[in-house]
Each structure stands twice: as structure tokens, then as C-alpha cells.
Amino acid sequence: MNRALILIGIALANAARGIRRASTTSLLAVLTIAVVLVLVGSAWLLVGNMASLLDEFGAELGMTAYLDPALSEASQRELVARVSQEDDVATATLVTKEEALLRFEKIAGSGDLLSGLEENPLPPALEIRLVPAARTEAGVERVEAVLADLPGVTELAHGQEWIEGYARAIALVRGIALGLGTVLGLAALLIVANTIRLAIYARRDELDILALVGASRTFVRVPFLLEGTIQGLLGGLLALFLVFATFSLLQSQLEYGLELVLGRAGLAFFTKGQSIALVAAGAGLGLLGSITALVGWKGTS
């Protein structure tokens, strides 16, 4: 058998032995990583679902360009095609005078309000939805500048405050998630590093003996790195299970509440890729914790 494979097998056996031997501290490390990842995972799930809801609302935010009623139908269609080409524009829909009147009557509840007028006073309009990246003050200004130069556009209307509020809400939610994730991640890193340091201290006799019989630095260190990674992996799996169980328990109640308040109910759990990323984050945290513990440890002579 290849010597490298034999050494990897020995390192894995030594890592497993280390975890068994210090089962209490190992369990503590697994639970710490799990708790941190449950918090980070929950925040991630919350932010993900909030962002989806905000995106749904954001998709409805847009601009309306009122057109000159004298504009021919062909010119109106040309205008739609021209505006649709803009990168910041997701869709541009023409609302004719007749459609505008129908909408008004539907909102007002009857046609009585405008029945005294000889002709339809409502102008045709372009309803413009912006791509998510353009739902900012700058994005609105860019589209505004394009529309202002187009012949036939008489007036522009948009919910600027709504758009700015949306952008702020998204930035705030993402900022909180990032801050929370960083702080919790660092805390977990320190705890794992200290757990591994304790393990090294508890096993210094073994490390002395390994040094005596000619163990290389790699032979001594790799089991500790594996130990941290295994602990992190177990912590990540436990966290994923806990987040999934909690989500499954609360999903129907949360969706009912959201339906009542916002009229929307779609909550989604992590995708397969995101689930793997959460578990991998645990393994990475464990590995990084071990590396932190071993940095500065000179080993035995």
C-alpha cells in the first residue's frame, strides 16, 4: 500500500482516538459550532426569505411615463420597443387611453365620475418595471434621463421614496446578517481554537513520545487538523438538522401570518447547495480553529 495512504489512515485513526479520548471537550466543540451555525443559518434563512419578499415588492416598484395623447399607435409601439432595450428596464408595458379608463372605473367602482365628459381625459402611459440592480436612486435617475430625451413623453411619475426605502431595507438586512455572521463566526473560531489547544495540552506526553520516536511535524499536527475538521463537520450537520427541524415546525404558522399581513406566503428552506455550504462552513470553522491553535505551538523537541 502507498506509504502516504498508510500515513493518512494512521492520522485518521489518531484523530478519532483524540476525539474519543477527549470526548467531553470534543462534544463541547461540536455543540459550540452547532449553536453558532444554527444562529448564522437562521439569520441566513431569514435574510434570504426577507430578500425574496422584498424582491417581490421591488418587482412591483417602477415608473410611469405619461405620453402625448396625440401620439400615433405606431409611435407608441416604437417607444415601448426603445425603452425595453435599456439595461435598467425589466419590462415596459403600454397602457392605452382605453385601458387607463377601464382601470380607473374599476378602482373608482363606477363610470359615473367621468360620464359627464365628452371624451376620455386619461393619457396613454408606459408602465416601466426596473431590474433589481436598478431599484436605487441612481438607477431611477438613469432611466429618468433616458425617458426625458424621448419625444412624446410628457410627464414622469415614480415612487422615489418607496424605491429608496426598498434599497435601504435590503442593505440593512444584508448588513445585519454579515455583521452577525462575522461576530458569531469569530466567537466560534476562538472556542474551537481553545478546545484544540486544551487537547494539545492534555496530550503533551503523547506528543513528547511521538517526537522521541521520530514523528515529523506533519505526522503530529495532521490528526489535530482532522480532529477540528471532523468536529466542525459534525457541528455543521447538527446545525443543519436543527435549522431544518425548526423551519419545518414553524413554516405553516409563519406562512399563515405572512399571508394575513403581506398577502404573500412563500417561505423557502436552503437549496441543496446552500445546505452543503452550511455544513462546509462548519468543517472550515473547525479546520481554521485547529490551525489557529497550532500556530505558535512549537511542538516538542
Q: Which residues bind another protein (CB under 8 A)?
A: 1, 3-4, 6-7, 9-10, 17, 21, 205-206, 208-217, 219, 301
Given the complex with another protein, which of 12 and 265 has the nearer CB atom? 12
Contact 47, 174 (CB under 8 A): yes
Given the complex with another protein, which of 7 and 28 has the nearer CB atom? 7
CB of 44 to another protein, least distance (A): 41
CB of 288 to another protein, least distance (A): 24
Question: Side-chain half-sphere of 186: how many Cα atoms within 13 Å?
Answer: 5
CB of 217 to another protein, least distance (A): 7
Given the complex with another protein, which of 216 and 271 has the nearer CB atom? 216
Given the complex with another protein, which of 106 and 217 has the nearer CB atom? 217
Given the complex with another protein, which of 219 and 244 has the nearer CB atom? 219
CB of 4 to another protein, least distance (A): 7
CB of 222 to another protein, least distance (A): 12
Given the complex with another protein, which of 74 and 213 has the nearer CB atom? 213
CB of 219 to another protein, least distance (A): 6
CB of 208 to another protein, least distance (A): 7
- How far apart (Å, rounded) are the C-alpha atoms in residues 18 and 194? 15
Given the complex with another protein, which of 1 and 117 has the nearer CB atom? 1
Question: Side-chain half-sphere of 39: how many Cα atoms within 13 Å?
Answer: 17
What is the CA 202 to chain-centroid distance, rounded? 40
